[in-house]
Amino acid sequence: MPHGRNQEYRKPFDQPRIGSRLRVGPLAWAKSIVGVVIGPLMIFAAGAAAALAATMRSRTPPIVAVPIAYVVIAVAASFVIRLKEPRFLIAVIPMSAVAIALLVDWDHAWAQFRRRT
């Protein structure tokens, strides 16, 4: 029985998106987050900042835990709720940049670098 003029009758299970879910595996999702959202440059900068913070004797401020916790919770939640598009994690980029900026005392690091050269 047609629903309207010139429309063919379709049973509910014939529709392409009903009954089937788009599934993204955890490994594919992790690759998507690293490749599309965060990117290799941000990963390199975070690693370099963590290494620099580990070698410096100054204490890291406790406020650094806030943006790091946001990034960890957002990425973990994206796995739990099975997001389909990485664009919903766009806030991870500025929060990662804030964490990198707060992780190291950049004035002290620059002064040490200038002293060595």
Q: Is residue 40 part of a domain?
A: yes
Q: Is residue 2 part of a domain?
A: no
pTM of the model: 0.69
Question: Domain total for the chain?
Answer: 1
Q: Which structural domain range is residue 97 located in?
A: 23-116
40 Cβ neighbours under 8 A, 6+ residues apart:
34
C-alpha separations of 94 from 12, 45, 56, 104, 111 in Å: 43, 13, 24, 16, 26
Q: Is residue 88 part of a domain?
A: yes
Tens of pLDDT, residue by residue over 40-96, are 899 999 999 989 888 887 788 899 999 999 999 999 998 888 877 888 888 999 999
Q: Is residue 67 part of a domain?
A: yes
97 Cβ neighbours under 8 A, 6+ residues apart:
42
Tens of pLDDT, residue by residue over 2-42, are 555 555 555 555 555 555 556 778 888 888 888 888 888 99
Q: Is residue 11 part of a domain?
A: no
93 Cβ neighbours under 8 A, 6+ residues apart:
37, 38, 42
Label residue 111 by pLDDT band (50, 70, 90). confident
Q: Is residue 80 part of a domain?
A: yes
